[in-house]
Chains A and B, each alone.
Chain A
Amino acid sequence: TQLLEQSPQFLSIQEGENLTVYCNSSSVFSSLQWYRQEPGEGPVLLVTVVTGGEVKKLKRLTFQFGDARKDSSLHITAAQTGDTGLYLCAGVYYNQGGKLIFGQGTELSVKP
């Protein structure tokens, strides 16, 4: 079973600060997704990255897929209180029949 690890598990910052969340695996992904989950709700897809080295931007969020397709990062610039939530990465491995494997999540708290 491939292990997909996210770090840090918890992050508490002040509004206006920058932050980066990491998602790492020892195996190669065919694609990787980032989800955001608010309390009492299900995860919502933010982005999908497919190509090694790919960078995607979603307003203040920047997503990067590692060249070797084993890792990804999510960078938030000038965090806002509305960014508070659980961020989950989920990867599709070549030998897992296309099913998503989720990381354990990063709990982000942005304080005013």
Chain B
Amino acid sequence: NAGVTQTPKFRILKIGQSMTLQCTQDMNHNYMYWYRQDPGMGLKLIYYSVGAGITDKGEVPNGYNVSRSTTEDFPLRLELAAPSQTSVYFCASSRPGTGPEKLFFGSGTQLSVL
């Protein structure tokens, strides 16, 4: 059972470079999320999507872009990497229902911008 798969696991970028963090899920979940996790700060929501073709900003969207062309994939794009974007990034998915959502997380991408 793959669940939520993120690639790459680790990446080092130079200031100003761009990259795409990949996320795919095989659970047919409509909702997908991108979070960043910094030490002592918990998880902050960057962007989320409630279905293919629909995306919306979270708490900390500046410097990032997303797209959702399929149910399975939700890539996160960094256009001009900055040191402040050094963090661990988590993708998550959930299936909306009648009760509270249960998020399934990937194993994360550790990104350093130097």
Closest-CB distance, B94 to chain A (whole angstroms): 9
Q: Report, as a range, how many residues of chain B touch the other chain.
A: 20 to 34
Q: Could you tell me the distance between the alpha carbons of A31 and B97 in the complex, rounded to whole angstroms?
A: 14
Task: Check if A42 sits within 8 Å of B42, measured CB to CB.
Answer: no
Closest-CB distance, B48 to chain A (whole angstroms): 7
Pick the interface stretch among B12-20, B63-71, B79-87, B102-110: B102-110
A68 on interface, CB distance cutoff 8 Å: no
Pick the interface stretch among A54-62, A71-79, A101-109: A101-109
Chain A: residues with Cβ within 8 Å of the partner, total of 24
Sample of 11 A–B contacts (CB below 8 Å):
A1-B59, A9-B40, A30-B100, A41-B105, A42-B106, A43-B43, A45-B103, A98-B101, A99-B58, A100-B45, A104-B41
Which of B's residues lie within 8 Å of A, judged by CB? 4, 35, 40-45, 48, 58-59, 90, 92, 99-103, 105-108
